């Protein structure tokens, strides 16, 4: 965690702030600086032939935000949306991405000394998505590397979509 770029003031003070959320029985966390807002589940427009974990796009105040289903991303069983299902809208660099989670818990202050390197194996998810594991009392919080979550081998093509390619003119 300590070597991560963009560490903020809290980090230097020995504490990191994370937004924690749940997928199944596990608790995950992302750096609060990367979270723009948390919204209720809205209608997601399916994008055909997109990578499998790409749930679709939503309209967030006129902006199109791509939505990733974290359960699919991590190879977990899909479940139907519940009242507590949320979309965590994150901003990674200039990219905005929404991730669907089972529920959002709270904002946690994690002392850095409580964060450990990712263990070899956690409940089936690839370690490449994990920055570390934080311990808080009895809780284990899996800290996600969002950059890896949105870019992976499954989606190597990061070409900017060319709107110019729109509609060949018929003359």
Partner 1 sequence: MSDELFDRSEFISYFRDEAEELLQQIDAELLKLEDLVDASHTDPEIVNSLFRALHTVKGSSGMLGFSDVQGLAHKLENLCDLLRKDRIPLSEGCVDILFAGRDLLTDLVAAAINGSGPPRGLPEYSARLDQFVAVYEQTAYLIEGTAGEGAAALATSESEERTIAGDVVEQFEAEVARLLAQAEAERREHPPEPVTPVDVAPAAIPAPQPAEAAAGTVAAPASTPKRASMHQTIRVDIDRLDTLLNLVGELVINRTRISDIANTLERLIADKALDSSSALIAPLTKALADSAALLARTTNEIQESIMKVRMVPIGQVFDRFPRLVRDVAKARGKEVQLVVSGADTDLDKTIVDEVGEPLMHLLRNCVDHGIEIPELREQRGKARAGMISLNAYHEGNQIIIEVSDDGNGIDLEKVRARGLKQGLISVDDRLNDRELIELIFTPGFSTAETISDVSGRGVGMDVVKKNITRLKGVFDVDSISGGGTTFTIKLPLTLAIIQALLVRVADELYAIPLDSVIESQRVEMPDVRTVHGSEVITLRGQVVPLLRIADFFELGGQRDPEKVMIVIVGLGGRQVGLVVDSFQGEQEIVIKPLSDVVGRIPGISGATILGNGSISLIIDVHSLVSDAYSSGRVARAEYSGV
Stated length of the chain: 171
51 counts as binding partner 1 under rule CB under 8 A: yes
Minimum CB–partner distance for residue 72 and partner 1 (Å): 15
50 touches partner 1 (CB under 8 A): yes
5 binds partner 1 per the rule CB under 8 A: no
State which residue, 121 or 158, has the beta carbon closest to partner 1: 158
The only residue of 48, 77, 82, 121 in contact with partner 1, by rule CB under 8 A: 48
Burial class of 78 by CB neighbour count within 10 A (0 to 12, 13 to 18, 19+):
exposed
The HSE-up count of residue 28 (CA atoms within 13 Å, CB side) is 25
Q: Give the footprint of partner 1 on residues 97-126 (CB under 8 A).
A: 97
Options 25, 82, 137, 169; binder of partner 1; rule CB under 8 A: 169
Distance CA 106, CA 53 (A): 25
Q: Is 78 in the site for partner 1 (CB under 8 A)?
A: no
Give the residue with the Cβ less far from partner 1, 82 or 169.
169
Rounded distance, CA 49 to CA 47, Å?
7
Residues 58-77 binding partner 1 (CB under 8 A) are 58-59, 61-66, 68
User: At 71, is the secondary structure helix, strand, or coil?
Assistant: helix
Residue (99 or 141) nearer to partner 1, CB:
99
Distance (Å, whole) CA 8 – CA 6? 6
Instruction: Write out the E strands in the chain.
Output: 15-23, 26-31, 35-40, 54-60, 63-69, 86-92, 95-101, 103-111, 115-116, 130-136, 139-144
Is 96 a binding residue for partner 1 by CB under 8 A? The answer is yes
Which one, 20 or 90, has the nearer CB to partner 1?
90
Residue numbers of the site for partner 1 (CB under 8 A)?
Answer: 43, 45-51, 54, 57-59, 61-66, 68, 95-97, 150-151, 155, 157-171
């Amino acid at each position: 965690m300590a070597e991560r770029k963009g560490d903020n003031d809290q980090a230097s003070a020995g504490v990191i702030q994370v937004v924690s959320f749940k997928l199944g029985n596990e608790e995950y966390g992302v750096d609060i600086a990367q979270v723009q807002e948390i919204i209720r589940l809205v209608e997601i427009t399916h994008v055909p032939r997109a990578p499998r974990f790409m749930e679709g796009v939503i309209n967030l105040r006129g902006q199109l935000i791509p939505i990733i289903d974290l359960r699919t991303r991590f190879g977990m069983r899909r479940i139907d949306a519940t009242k507590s299902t949320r979309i965590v809208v994150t901003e990674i660099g200039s990219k905005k991405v929404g991730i669907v989670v089972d529920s959002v818990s709270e904002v946690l202050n994690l002392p850095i000394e409580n964060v450990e390197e990712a263990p070899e194996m956690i409940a089936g998810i690839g370690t490449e998505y994990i920055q570390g594991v934080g311990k808080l009392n009895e809780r284990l919080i899996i800290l996600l590397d969002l950059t890896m979550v949105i870019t992976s081998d499954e989606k190597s093509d990061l070409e900017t979509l060319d709107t110019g390619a729109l509609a060949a003119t018929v003359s």
